[in-house]
Structure formats: structure tokens, C-alpha cells
């Protein structure tokens, strides 16, 4: 008969702990980046009858139009030509149903919003929405 080994078997948890810490850091950093991606100076219009966004599509392109009519994505200002290129790239990556959300300042001229909508149309993106507050912002916002 063969003797059985009485060696103790253990699992090295160090790599697992390293991975968990890396995931925590990743989620903390990306959560912070998502909140900083929007220009807080853009005051949205109030629309109580519009539908609420229940679930955000990860392919969504957020385009902002400030009070002066400047177009930006993630706080980077673009002209219409660069916006068209960005939208075409998003379309190539995400397909024809790639959504675009336009966050326009409530005092900007509609002409500025139309420029973004025209760029979406030229790029072949048809799922375009304009973001507004569903409830009155606190402080009269």
C-alpha cells in the first residue's frame, strides 16, 4: 500500500486580492470620470411630460451645446466637421441604432441644437434625443 501524503494544501490569495483592488480602483475612477464628463454650467430645460431615461445604452454619445452655442463632447469643444467625424466613428462602432443625447442649455438658440441634429443626420444616426429635467430643479435651477 502506498502512503498518503499529509502535506497541507493552501491557496495563495495574493493574486486574487490584487485583482479585487484593481477592479475597485477601476470602478472608482470610471464613476468619477462619468460625473465629470458633463458641463455643470449647462442648465437644462424643464419638461414634465417627456419620458424618463430608465436604462442608458453604453453606446450613447452625449453631445452638449452651451449657452453660447458651442458644441462639446466630454468637455472638449468641437466644430461641426469634427463632430461629424466623431459621430461617424460612433456609428461604425455601435451600429445604426447608436443613440445620441443632446444636452442643450435652456437659453441656447434652437439653431445651435439644429446644427447637432444635422450632423447626426449626415452621419446616419437617427436615434437622437434632447435631454431635459423631468422635475423642477431644486433652487429654481
Please report the domains of the chain, with CATH numbers, ordered by start residue. 61-140 (3.30.420.270)
Q: Give the burial class of 105: count Cβ atoms within 10 A of its Cβ; 0-12 exposed, 13-18 middle, 19 or more buried.
A: buried
Dihedral of CA 99/104/109/112: which sign? negative
pLDDT in tens, 58-92: 888 999 999 999 999 888 898 888 898 899 999 99
Q: What pTM, to 2 d.p., does this model score?
A: 0.66
Q: What span, in angstroms and rounded, lies between the C-alpha atoms of 141 and 133?
A: 10
22 pLDDT more than 80: yes
Amino acid at each position: 500500500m502506498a502512503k498518503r501524503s499529509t502535506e497541507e494544501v493552501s491557496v495563495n490569495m495574493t493574486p486574487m486580492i490584487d485583482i479585487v483592488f484593481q477592479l475597485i480602483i477601476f470602478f472608482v475612477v470610471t464613476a468619477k470620470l462619468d460625473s465629470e464628463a458633463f458641463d455643470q454650467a449647462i442648465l437644462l430645460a424643464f419638461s414634465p411630460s417627456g419620458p424618463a431615461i430608465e436604462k442608458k445604452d453604453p453606446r450613447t454619445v452625449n453631445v452638449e451645446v452651451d449657452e453660447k452655442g458651442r458644441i462639446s463632447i466630454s468637455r472638449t469643444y468641437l466644430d461641426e466637421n469634427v463632430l461629424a467625424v466623431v459621430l461617424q466613428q460612433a456609428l461604425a462602432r455601435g451600429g445604426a441604432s447608436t443613440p445620441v443625447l443632446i444636452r442643450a442649455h435652456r437659453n441656447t438658440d434652437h439653431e445651435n441644437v439644429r446644427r447637432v441634429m444635422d450632423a447626426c443626420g449626415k452621419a446616419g444616426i437617427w436615434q437622437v434625443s434632447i435631454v431635459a429635467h423631468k422635475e423642477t430643479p431644486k433652487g429654481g435651477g
